[in-house]
Amino acid sequence: MNDNPPLFAPTEPIFPRRVSGFYRTLKWWILFATLGIYYLTPWIRWDRGPNLPDQAVLVDLANRRFYFFWIEIWPHEFYFVAGLLIMAGLGLFLFTSALGRVWCGYTCPQTVWTDLFFAVERWIEGDRNARIRLWNAPWDTRKASLRLTKWAVWLLIAICTGGAWVFYFADAPTLLRQLVAFEAPFVAYATIGVLTATTFILGGFLREQVCIYMCPWPRIQAAMVDPGTLTVGYREWRGEPRGKGNAKRAAVAEDVDSQGARVRYGAALDKDHAAPRISREGETLGDCIDCMACVNVCPMGIDIREGQQMECITCALCIDACDDVMAKIGRPRGLIDYLALEDTPPTVPAPEGWQPTAAWRHVLRPRTIVYTLAWAAIGVALVVALFVRPEIDVTVAPVRNPTFVTLSDGSIRNAYDLRLRNKHAEPRAFHVALSADTVLRIALEGEDDLVVDVPASATVRQRIYVTARPQDPAAAVDHTDLRLWIEDLTSGERAHADTIFNGRESNDD
Ligand code: SF4
Ligand code: SF4
């Protein structure tokens, strides 16, 4: 006989109850805003001229370009993306140190889609009690039809989710026509298939398991919060000892679920809302009537009254549930609330007149101010860099093999590769010249003049030659500094690139 306990406990299904209140409404607004942005953004058009894509947000992998409304990021400007990623990281530090796992509770894609899938489940199968009954019921026609309907709606949402993603990487209307006509690239179908499957499984079936077991963020966040962080917690000093109270002196808190069934909290009210609640045994009770409403609405299936737990995503739905109960029994809201651990009173019950620190003092702390300043500094630097970046991008690279050649008349010639980027939506011509103080001569390979034509939003590589006559000092010495000037013949804008000219004494010879 094996006495060892099993390593893994079976997963307990969670059936969160419908709840309404401030945080539930806030979550709905955030859900609609984030999903709306995600699904609709690829369909916004933005006119950039005849030679450029008119999709407002586009990751053009083929041409290695990222378009964001009026901003166009080239591969060599990847530092903008790096800067945005650093800002996103600092933003997470900031919000986590101020408001705990607010990202997890409100805006994480896993939370948002799981929330949407829960809403669909409640809409089709009913609220908590109805879903528990359905879960325990044997399979029959009704159960099968409800399950199939739910899975079909989940699948539709999952397909839309996977489909929306690929539209960020190609012209959305064109790709949609290709997808419908089965003419789209295989990678588009494969991407939609993978994202559809992951959305369906992670949002519909794995739900809280993703947050608890798959996501590293809860562990990382544990290192970011401190006793001054505002997070969802239970005011134990106010709620304990919990209990149902004296039934003779009290009414019972009730609610009605979405199926119309009465939900009795089994709790006792103190009718004048002033005298302390008394248990049947005569004990003075706290405000918690042990109705389990906070547990029943929790999408993670935990009891916040047991203290801070890694599973808690601070979605604040337990605050709404408990505030509702407090209103029904005539107690002040906030038994469960956003609070900081350092706000625990020195004694239980709290001393007369003891008050927790104001919430804004927890948000505005030296730590959060430093994060905000660092975040803003990077943001300002990126904006400044965006507006001062040159419209002409030019680089020049000397050809190293050989570093120079000696012509039949004794002249020394160096070759260079010039790369010119035209960031405009129309073709541009650029004049190439050496600085006026040099006697060296320049020529373009394959060109009679010194003009390079660059198509719209493109990069051109041009081989150029610089020659020193035998009597020029640059021909004899090791190397000479050289500056190339590029002039946009349309706008008159100028840019330069510095390099060196290798003479006969060059060590590389
Ligand atoms: S909802 Fe409030 S009163 Fe009810 S069990 Fe939770 S903490 Fe106690
Ligand atoms: S205990 Fe549950 S309902 Fe309350 S904030 Fe945490 S995850 Fe949300």
pLDDT at 276: 67
Q: Is 303 helix (H, G, I), strand (E, B) or coil?
A: coil
pLDDT tens for each residue of 198-255:
999 999 999 999 999 899 888 888 888 888 999 999 998 888 888 876 544 444 455 5
Domain of residue 458: give its range.
Answer: 392-507
Tell whether 300 and 239 lie within a shared domain.
yes
Domain boundary among 348, 375, 410: 348
Average confidence (pLDDT) over 81-108: 93
Q: Ligand 1 atom closest to Cα of 292?
A: 5
Tell whether 34 and 126 lie within a shared domain.
yes
Residue 423 inside a domain? The answer is yes
Tell whether 204 and 237 lie within a shared domain.
no
For residue 298, which of 388, 212, 197 has the smallest C-alpha distance? 212
Q: How far is the CA of 303 from the centre of ligand 2 (A)?
A: 8
Please tell me the number of the ligand nearest to residue 255's CA: 1
Tell whether 202 and 262 lie within a shared domain.
no
- Looking at 41-55, 279-293, 459-473, which range is the least confident one? 279-293
- Looking at 48-57, 89-98, 387-396, 500-509, which range is the least confident one? 500-509
**Is the confidence at residue 97, as pLDDT, over 80?**
yes
Quote the mean pLDDT of the chain.
88
pLDDT at 272: 46
The reply to whether ligand 1 has any atom less than 6 angstroms from the CB of 239 is: yes
**Is the confidence at residue 356, as pLDDT, over 90?**
no
pLDDT at 351: 77
Residue 8 inside a domain? The answer is no
The reply to whether ligand 1 has any atom less than 6 angstroms from the CB of 293 is: yes
The reply to whether ligand 1 has any atom less than 6 angstroms from the CB of 19 is: no
- Looking at 80-89, 385-394, 453-462, which range is the least confident one? 385-394
The reply to whether ligand 2 has any atom less than 6 angstroms from the CB of 339 is: no
For ligand 1, mutation pick of 128, 235, 336 (most atoms within 8 Å of CB): 336
422 or 131, which is more confident: 131
Residue 44 inside a domain? The answer is yes
Vertex 430 angle, CA 427 and 436, to 5°: 170
Tell whether 239 and 210 lie within a shared domain.
no
Residue 84 inside a domain? The answer is yes
Q: Ligand 2 atom closest to Cα of 316?
A: 5
Tell whether 275 and 406 lie within a shared domain.
no
Tell whether 502 and 428 lie within a shared domain.
yes
Tell whether 208 and 249 lie within a shared domain.
no
Q: What is the CATH number of the domain that holds 440?
A: 2.60.40.10
pLDDT tens for each residue of 301-331:
999 999 988 899 999 999 999 999 999 888 8
Domain boundary among 174, 204, 223: 223
Tell whether 422 and 464 lie within a shared domain.
yes
Domain boundary among 348, 380, 414: 348
Tell whether 57 and 201 lie within a shared domain.
yes
Residue nearest to atom 2 of ligand 1 (CA): 322
Residue 156 inside a domain? The answer is yes
pLDDT at 275: 59
**Is the confidence at residue 85, as pLDDT, over 50?**
yes
Residue 17 inside a domain? The answer is no
pLDDT at 308: 87
For the record, the structure tokens of 481 come out as 């500094």
Tell whether 174 and 235 lie within a shared domain.
no
- For the chain, how many structural domains are there in total? 3
Tell whether 238 and 329 lie within a shared domain.
yes
With helix as H, strand as E and coil as C, how does 180-237 read? Answer: HCCCCCHHHHHHHHHHHHHHHHHHHHHCHHHHHHHCCHHHHHHCCCCCCCCEEEECHH
Q: Report the C-alpha dihedral over residues 102, 293, 320, 269, rounded to 10 degrees.
A: -140
- Please give the Cα distance from 360 to 358 (Å, whole number): 6
The reply to whether ligand 1 has any atom less than 6 angstroms from the CB of 31 is: no
Residue 377 inside a domain? The answer is no
**Is the confidence at residue 386, as pLDDT, over 50?**
yes
Residue 68 inside a domain? The answer is yes
- pTM higher than 0.85: no
Q: How far is the CA of 161 from the centre of ligand 1 (A)?
A: 36
Q: Ligand 1 atom closest to Cα of 242?
A: 8
Q: How far is the CA of 507 from the centre of ligand 2 (A)?
A: 71
Residue type present at position 156: L
38 or 65, which is more confident: 38
465 φ/ψ angles, rounded to the nearest 5 degrees: -125, 140
